[in-house]
Amino acid sequence: MPNNPMVAGWESPSNIALVKYWGKYGDQLPKNPSVSFTLSKAVTTTEVTMVRSDQHKDIELSFLFEGKENAAFASRIEKWLNKLVQDHLPFLRGSIIDVSTKNSFPHSSGIASSASGMSALSLCLCDLLYQTKEERDYDDDFYKQASFISRLGSGSACRSVYPEMAVWGGHDQIPHSSDEHAICIKDQIHPVFKTFHDDILIVSAQEKKVSSTAGHHLMNGNPYAPARYQQAHDRMTLLMSALHNGDVSTFGKITEDEAMTLHALMMCSDPPYMLMEEASLAIIKKIKTYRADTGVPIYFTLDAGPNIHVLYPEEFQSQTENFITSDLLPHCHEGRIIKDKVGNGPKKIK
Ligand code: PMV
């Protein structure tokens, strides 16, 4: 391996799940399959410089988030890197690694940055691995490996390395699907979904009271868990067919049912907890009423938090934007919104 510095830089997007991953086993493996839209504007840009050091056996990490040191992020990444060195990326052993990372969306905007952040860093690490092997072809195996590495950092991040849409988790009727890494399904979806909009309404920018890690863990004692995992499999079958056929109303029904199920599972955990706010419910009700009154196919989903993702086809953009501005924005924290849409996946920048 050369002693001169190696550099890699990638921009990687966030993603929003339609059928949700909620509950895990083993080393970040999902209890049920999930499917997501890859976003385009909510991205993390990461640059990594790696120098081989003869004096080190372990990894020495320096980590900058938006130009500043961040001890909490650094310690999470250091733990993950040490695991990777042992089991999957031994070429990193004994190196000095400088990571510099920034988000396109403001910190504490209520947007989870783990999917974009972990996938951007994983892409950089796989890029460095390819450089050591003098590989220049970023082929399917490259993205598969980046997805696998991302998964070990943050489960849902493994879906962010692909354009348009990705499936993560083994499913009998989805060829090549796996618990170990996500797969790209862009060739299996109708064109209407390739330009779908996702306007993210920021209801609260506060840190979550219960982390996703704790939420996944609580599924282990949830009496509804077995039925939930079966339901997610069944909904995947129905949603994959709707995605293929361009059936927007079936897509919308399953997507909304999934968001409600996710939050219901939180409310019936032991101890129970709630991440929706009054404003989340007000927005959901208004979306349903507007859809019923106008026939405009506008739907919602939520992550593990109070913010609402408003999903609609491109052709309804102007109508929907007017409705959002007049009726939904007043419920948002400081009128905040991130207007995103389905995107083309990560980009190599260095
Ligand atoms: O990847 P994690 O551990 O942050 O969990 C993500 C869980 C959900 O966002 C609620 C669902 C999903 O599939 O992304």
pTM, two decimal places:
0.96
- 156 in ligand 1 pocket by Cβ < 6 Å? yes
Q: Using the predicted structure, report yes or no on whether residue 1 has a pLDDT greater than 60.
A: no
Q: Are 104 and 43 in contact (CB under 8 A)?
A: yes
Given ligand 1 and candidates 32, 35, 212, 229, which is best to mutate, with the most ligand atoms within 8 Å of its CB?
212
Nearest-angstrom CA–CA distance, 183 and 163: 10
How many whole angstroms from 34 Cα to the centroid of ligand 1?
A: 9
Q: Read off the pLDDT of each residue in 127-143 and give the average, rounded to a whole number.
A: 92
Nearest-angstrom CA–CA distance, 156 and 34: 9
- 31 in ligand 1 pocket by Cβ < 6 Å? no
How many whole angstroms from 43 Cα to the centroid of ligand 1?
A: 16
Residue 309: strand pairing partners: 200, 301
Q: Whose Cα sits closest to atom 9 in ligand 1?
A: 303
SS3 of 347, please? strand
What pLDDT is attached to residue 113? 83
- 182 in ligand 1 pocket by Cβ < 6 Å? no
Q: Can you tell me which residue has the tokens 């996703």?
A: 212
Average of per-residue pLDDT values in the chain? 95
pLDDT band for position 110 (cuts 50, 70, 90): low
What pLDDT is attached to residue 207? 83
What pLDDT is attached to residue 108? 64
Q: Using the predicted structure, report yes or no on whether residue 176 has a pLDDT greater than 70.
A: yes
Q: Using the predicted structure, report yes or no on whether residue 106 has a pLDDT greater than 80.
A: no
Q: Using the predicted structure, report yes or no on whether residue 245 has a pLDDT greater than 80.
A: yes
321 burial via Cβ count (<10 Å: 0-12, 13-18, 19+):
middle
Residues in the chain: 350
36 membership: H or E segment, kind and range: strand 34-52
Q: Using the predicted structure, report yes or no on whether residue 4 has a pLDDT greater than 90.
A: no
Q: Using the predicted structure, report yes or no on whether residue 205 has a pLDDT greater than 90.
A: no
Render pLDDT for 293-339 as a digit per residue (tens, 0 to 9).
Answer: 999 999 999 999 999 999 999 999 999 999 999 999 999 999 999 99
Q: Using the predicted structure, report yes or no on whether residue 58 has a pLDDT greater than 90.
A: no
Q: Read off the pLDDT of each residue in 22-49 and give the average, rounded to a whole number.
A: 97
How many whole angstroms from 156 Cα to the centroid of ligand 1?
A: 5
How many whole angstroms from 115 Cα to the centroid of ligand 1?
A: 9
Q: Read off the pLDDT of each residue in 37-45 and give the average, rounded to a whole number.
A: 97
**3-class SS shares of the chain: helix, strand, coil, % to 5:** 45, 25, 30
Q: Using the predicted structure, report yes or no on whether residue 206 has a pLDDT greater than 90.
A: no
